[in-house]
Amino acid sequence: MISFIDKAVLQFDRALQTLVPHAAKANRSSPADKLKEAELDQSDRKHSSGLMRINHTGEVCAQALYAGQATTAKLAKVRQEMEHAADEEIDHLVWCEQRLYDLGSKPSILNPLFYGASFMIGAGAGLISDRLSLGFVAATEDQVCIHLEKHMATLPMQDEKSKAVLTQMHIDEAKHKAMALEAGGYEFPQPIMAIMTQVSKVMTSTTYRI
Ligand SMILES: [Fe+2]
Ligand SMILES: [Fe+2]
């Protein structure tokens, strides 16, 4: 019983850290820090903000997914890897959040909703099996990499700060994907990946705006 309460408190703390502005702290400094802020006109600024808002929500989902999986993972080793990966995603979350504020914008108001949904998906996958759970991480990271590539290609040219953040994230996410497959995750078949792409479209098309 005590351990259940401990777990619940930890989970609540993690959710708050993810959802409350400025609550999370990064381990690594942002790749954007050493670059100069560019002059962006209103439409460029709006576009950069929209893309960074999508990426920020993606990191909110990653936190929730890993947290959900860590609660139900059967093998201690898998649980540890989930927790380690979630720590790395905190950096991404903080970098994206910082970038959003620097652009004069803010995170999506839909984040609590996406956190809840992703937590359930993660916990559900973990309940079924560790290999499914790890496969889900690999598939998700794969989707994130595709988004990041698209975003890097369509960011306003002058916005080097946002681009630096996305470049480092892309390196980390590709590493997370490889880690999950190496740990025994299933490689999802194409039809499942196509469904995941459709689901992620719901997130990207809403959070670009709000
Ligand atoms: Fe990430
Ligand atoms: Fe990741």
- Does 83 show up as a binding residue in the annotation? no
| Ligand 1 center from residue 2 Cα (angstroms) | 32
pLDDT for residue 198 is more than 90:
no
| Ligand 2 center from residue 19 Cα (angstroms) | 18
What is the tens place of the pLDDT at every residue in 13-26?
A: 888 889 998 898 99
Find all residues with CB under 8 Å of 35, minimum gap 6, and list them.
160, 161, 164
- Does 141 show up as a binding residue in the annotation? yes
Q: What is the CA radius of gyration of the chain?
A: 17
Q: Which residues of 164-189 are buried (b: 16+ CB within 10 A; e: fewer)?
A: bbbebbbebbeebbebbbebebbebe
The predicted model gives 92-107 an average pLDDT of 96
| Ligand 1 center from residue 63 Cα (angstroms) | 8
What is the tens place of the pLDDT at every residue in 54-91?
A: 999 999 998 888 888 888 877 777 777 767 777 789 99
| Ligand 1 center from residue 171 Cα (angstroms) | 10
The pLDDT mean for the chain works out to 89
Ligand index nearest the alpha carbon of residue 139: 2
pLDDT for residue 39 is more than 70:
yes
| Ligand 1 center from residue 95 Cα (angstroms) | 10
Spatial distance between the Cα atoms of 35 and 28, rounded to a whole number of angstroms: 16
| Highest mean pLDDT (candidates 7-16, 58-67, 190-199) | 58-67
Question: What pLDDT does residue 1 have?
Answer: 54
Q: Token pair for residue 120?
A: 């359930």
42-207 is a CATH 3.30.530.20 domain: no
| Ligand 2 center from residue 174 Cα (angstroms) | 7
What is the tens place of the pLDDT at every residue in 115-131?
A: 999 999 888 888 888 88
Angle at alpha carbon of residue 44, lines to 202 and 164, rounded to 5°:
80
- pTM metric for this prediction: 0.90
Spatial distance between the Cα atoms of 88 and 113, rounded to a whole number of angstroms: 22
The predicted model gives 149-174 an average pLDDT of 96
The predicted model gives 7-13 an average pLDDT of 81
Spatial distance between the Cα atoms of 83 and 71, rounded to a whole number of angstroms: 10
